[in-house]
Structures are given as structure tokens and as C-alpha cells.
Chains A and B, each alone.
Chain A
């Protein structure tokens, strides 16, 4: 028993010594040999453990950087939101500068201060007053078109009535001057306050959807040619003597932040050419639509004529009268009874023969010209000819 125990202890010590010697040998290995040994172990049976450790360390790095990443993402989101609004503001200001360069003089750039909710948007405060040259009933415009009119003026600021106001009216017309009416806010219906209606348009004047409507210049407040909106559709009203159209406004009141007030002396000079591009584009669009319609109609007519000629040619090639002739003959048969054939003695009348030969020939000749083009198709169908 004691011997066995001593033997086991000796065995344990031998194993321990062997392991220590091996470990010391590993420790004594030169650097050039340590790395291959370690790499070999990492790449073989330790690979799963190494992978686990890598993932765990990556997870720790992710956890440590989560807050920083989140704050970075938040900053980027905030910047992107700001960038969108800045782009919009830049666009508005660029348009305003463009309008200013076209007006050249006689305008007061100002800020529109919205005081109430979006749906109650009928008036705004303008940051320019009588000291800047603003007077009552001065038009307020934006690069897109009509905004409103100044109704109260203080020395440093003024109060403007937007087109959404129930009391707002402006004389309007189509750019070509064929239709006139009074534009005002469309207050009834679910879109009340967001659209404009053009009332009192003469019944003979029709406006197509998409047509531009501008101020007419009548009344002395608004100069001629300021865009008001575009026609959406005609609406039915109780007024039977005139048409009423629904317009999409050129300017959305809730988007108005930078506007221009036109001075009274500028109105007298007119606004020719300021929105001319808009009107020209509109007229060009209308012309394109009309010419497109005309071209399509002409093409359809030509195609119908060609088809009819081909059908007639085929009918003649088959020995039947042309389609038009069949119709007329059929119609004649339907209306009048067939006359009883009367045998007449053969009379030789050269003039009549000439007349018969010449007169119808002219009408047929047009068809024969076309028949040549389809003769190859018509020949196989000729009666008495086998295919």
C-alpha cells in the first residue's frame, strides 16, 4: 500500500517535472520560433476560442462606442434636418433675389411674422412700416406670385391681409385676356381657405385645368400680371350667368416668410416682364398641348383615310362596290324601292359614253392610285382565282 502510494507520487512528480521542463523549453524558445508555434495553435484547435474572444471584444467596443455613435447619429440627423430647411430657405431667398432683380426698384423686402396657427392664417405682420415707404393697400408679393395686401401701417411694421382672408378680392384674368373674373378665397368645402375661387367669369370664356390666372390690373390696387394661381376645375354655383373656377394658389400662406411690398410709385410703372417667364412658360405649355392635340387629330384623320382607301381597294378588287358606295346604295335601297329594270334598245351615244368614261373615272382614279399599293394583297382574293 505504502509502496503503491510512493510509486504514484513518483509518477506524479515525473509528470510534473516533464510538464515544467516542456513549459520552460517553450519559454526558452527564440522569438522566431514562438510565433509560429502560437500561430499554429491559434489557427487550429484554438480557432473557435479566438473567434469567441474576437467577437466578445468587438461587442465590448460596440458597447463602449454605442453612446458616442448614438450622439453622432443624433447630430447627423439634426444636421440633415437643418440642411433640408436651409435648402428650402436658400431656395426661397434665391427666388426672392431673382424677383428683386427683375423688379429692379420700388419694392421693400420684409419678413412675414406668423402669429397664429396654420389654419387661421389670414393675416401676417410685416417687419417694415411707413418709415420704409410702406403705405396702406400696398401689394405684398412673393417670388411665386400674389400674397396679400397691406391694410394697416405703423412706423416700423405693418399688417397685411393674406389672400386667404374672407374680405380679400383681386381682379383676375387669364394671361391672354380671354377670361376675367374676381379671385377670392374659397372658403366652403373641406379645402376651405387653402384654395382660391375665380368668380364671375363670363359664360362664353372657358378655362382649361392648369391655365395660369394673373391679376388684371383693374381696381388700382394690384398691377397687371401677378400670378394668382392655376385652374384646377370649374365648380358649380348658384350663379347661372357666369362660371366659377377653383384655383390652386401660387403662394401657400404658411410657407411665406420673406416677401416684398410694392411701393405705390412702382405700381404706376407696371410689372411688365417681372413674371413674364411664368406666363410665357404657361402659354408655351398651352401651345404645346394644343399643337399636340392638332397633330394627333391630323394623324388620326390621315390614318382613317388610308384605312378607308385600303378597304375600298380591297372591295373593288373583289368585285364589290366601295364601302362608301355600298353604304349609300344600301341606304338608297332602304329608302326607295328597287326600280324595275327596263330593257332599252342599244343606242350608240358617244357623248354619253364619253361622259360615263370620264366623269366617274376621275373619282375612281384616286382610289386606283392607292389600289396599286395593295394589289399584291388583293390579287389572291380575286374571285375565280385559286390560291
Chain B
């Protein structure tokens, strides 16, 4: 990835982060989209797994800082998701929107599973309900929004032709 591509990727990353703290609370849905996971996944496929793990760790701490009771849970989940996404990028790095949507869906769901299990705030039926109902819904919304943003931001995200 050349310098131009890195800058464009960084801008996209920042746009996703800003959207997470503006559009998401503005909409206030019960099953919200997660722009931080989208930003992490889009960054992870462009860097090596170690870097993706560090990005995930930092993003997780950022999200945890607004919920101090769960400090660390988001960092663990983001680290694992970032590392996994970067490790599996050969599988998912394809110019296929459906595959990208599945990639986003899976990333968000895995993140939620790790987060809620690590957070240990909800238990039993409520945890199952969260993981099997609200998390997939949130993951689906995230995947849909991610695909939409990929479509909109295609000029910014496509690699520069040699």
C-alpha cells in the first residue's frame, strides 16, 4: 500500500470513527450499527495481523473508556476480531459486496459474543437473547451499513492503479 492509499485508508478510518460517535447516538436504535467494528475490519484487511491487533486493542480501549465498568472487554474483543480479520483477509479480500457483507456481519457478531462474555454484565437467558437476537440484528445492520458505505466510499477505498 503506497502513501496515497494509506492516507485514504486513514481518512476512511477516521470517518467511520466519527460516524460512530455522531450518527449512532443520533439514531439511537435498539440494534445499532457499529462503525468502530467496520473501521477495524477495513483497516485490518490492509495491514498485517499484529498491527490489526494493536489497532483493535486501541479501538477497544476507546470504546471501553465510555463504559468504565467494562474496561478491557471491548479491547479483548476488538483485538481478536482485528487479528482474525487480518489473518483471514485472503479469504475475504475480494471485490464481492455479499462476501464483504458477510465479513462485516461475522466480525460484528464475533465482537459482540466476545464483548458480552468478557463483560459479564448479562447472564443466562438475557445473555442468550442478546447474543442470538440483538447481536445478529445489530450485525446485520452493521453489515448493511458497511456495504452501503463501501459503495459510497469506493473511490476512497479502492487501491490506486499502478
Q: Chain A interface (Cβ within 8 Å of chain B)?
A: 8, 11-12, 14-16, 19-20, 22-29, 31, 34-35, 37-39, 41-42, 46, 49-50, 52-53, 55-57, 59-60, 63
Contact of A49 among B21, B60, B118 (CB under 8 A): B21
Asked whether A60 lies within 8 Å of B79 as measured between CB atoms, the reply is no
Contact of B68 among A19, A23, A28, A35 (CB under 8 A): A35
10 intermolecular pairs with C-beta atoms under 8 Å apart: A8-B48, A12-B53, A35-B68, A49-B17, A49-B21, A53-B21, A56-B21, A56-B24, A57-B26, A60-B26
Asked whether A22 lies within 8 Å of B57 as measured between CB atoms, the reply is yes
A49–B76 CA distance with the chains assembled, in angstroms: 21
Asked whether A26 lies within 8 Å of B64 as measured between CB atoms, the reply is yes
Q: How far is the CB of A350 from chain B (nearest CB, A)?
A: 120
Q: How far is the CB of A231 from chain B (nearest CB, A)?
A: 68
Q: Which of A26, A46, A63 has the most CB of B within 10 A?
A: A26
Interface residues as binary, B58-102 with A (CB distance below 8 Å gives 1, 0 otherwise): 001110111011011101100110010001000000000000000
Q: How far is the CB of A47 from chain B (nearest CB, A)?
A: 11
A73–B62 CA distance with the chains assembled, in angstroms: 41
Asked whether B25 lies within 8 Å of A57 as measured between CB atoms, the reply is yes
Asked whether B53 lies within 8 Å of A23 as measured between CB atoms, the reply is no
Asked whether B22 lies within 8 Å of A53 as measured between CB atoms, the reply is yes
B23 partner residues in chain A, CB cutoff 8 A: 56
Contact of A34 among B18, B48, B60, B71 (CB under 8 A): B71
Asked whether B21 lies within 8 Å of A23 as measured between CB atoms, the reply is no
Asked whether A16 lies within 8 Å of B50 as measured between CB atoms, the reply is yes
| Given A19-B79, A23-B57, A53-B66, 11 other A-B residues pairs in contact with their CB atoms under 8 A | A8-B48, A16-B80, A19-B56, A20-B80, A22-B57, A23-B60, A24-B76, A38-B64, A56-B23, A57-B28, A59-B26
Asked whether any CB of chain A lies closer than 8 Å to the CB of B150, the reply is: no
The 9 closest A-B pairs by CB, nearest first: A27-B72, A26-B72, A23-B75, A15-B50, A38-B68, A19-B57, A12-B49, A41-B65, A56-B25
Q: How far is the CB of B77 from chain A (nearest CB, A)?
A: 9
Interface residues as binary, B4-28 with A (CB distance below 8 Å gives 1, 0 otherwise): 0000000000000110011111111
Asked whether B72 lies within 8 Å of A25 as measured between CB atoms, the reply is yes
Asked whether B48 lies within 8 Å of A49 as measured between CB atoms, the reply is no
Asked whether B26 lies within 8 Å of A15 as measured between CB atoms, the reply is no
With both beta carbons as reference points, the residue of chain A lying nearest to B56 in the complex is identified as A19
A-side interface mostly: helix
Asked whether B66 lies within 8 Å of A50 as measured between CB atoms, the reply is yes
A63 partner residues in chain B, CB cutoff 8 A: 26
Q: How far is the CB of A55 from chain B (nearest CB, A)?
A: 8
B-side interface mostly: helix
A24–B70 CA distance with the chains assembled, in angstroms: 11
Contact of B79 among A20, A34, A35 (CB under 8 A): A20
A46 partner residues in chain B, CB cutoff 8 A: 62, 65-66
With both beta carbons as reference points, the residue of chain A lying nearest to B24 in the complex is identified as A56
A171–B65 CA distance with the chains assembled, in angstroms: 90
Q: Chain B interface (Cβ within 8 Å of chain A)?
A: 17-18, 21-28, 48-50, 53-54, 56-57, 60-62, 64-66, 68-69, 71-73, 75-76, 79-80, 83, 87, 118
A29–B49 CA distance with the chains assembled, in angstroms: 27
A49 partner residues in chain B, CB cutoff 8 A: 17-18, 21, 62
Asked whether A15 lies within 8 Å of B54 as measured between CB atoms, the reply is yes
With both beta carbons as reference points, the residue of chain B lying nearest to A64 in the complex is identified as B28
A31 partner residues in chain B, CB cutoff 8 A: 69
B60 partner residues in chain A, CB cutoff 8 A: 23
A173–B13 CA distance with the chains assembled, in angstroms: 91
B48 partner residues in chain A, CB cutoff 8 A: 8, 12
Asked whether B71 lies within 8 Å of A22 as measured between CB atoms, the reply is no
Given contacts A25-B72, A38-B65, contact A53 B25 (CB under 8 A): yes
A138–B52 CA distance with the chains assembled, in angstroms: 100
Q: How far is the CB of A374 from chain B (nearest CB, A)?
A: 86
A12–B47 CA distance with the chains assembled, in angstroms: 11
A37–B72 CA distance with the chains assembled, in angstroms: 11
With both beta carbons as reference points, the residue of chain B lying nearest to A9 in the complex is identified as B49
A22 partner residues in chain B, CB cutoff 8 A: 57, 75
Asked whether B118 lies within 8 Å of A27 as measured between CB atoms, the reply is yes
Asked whether A23 lies within 8 Å of B62 as measured between CB atoms, the reply is no
A16–B118 CA distance with the chains assembled, in angstroms: 17
Q: How far is the CB of A67 from chain B (nearest CB, A)?
A: 16
A49–B19 CA distance with the chains assembled, in angstroms: 10
A19 partner residues in chain B, CB cutoff 8 A: 53-54, 56-57, 75, 79
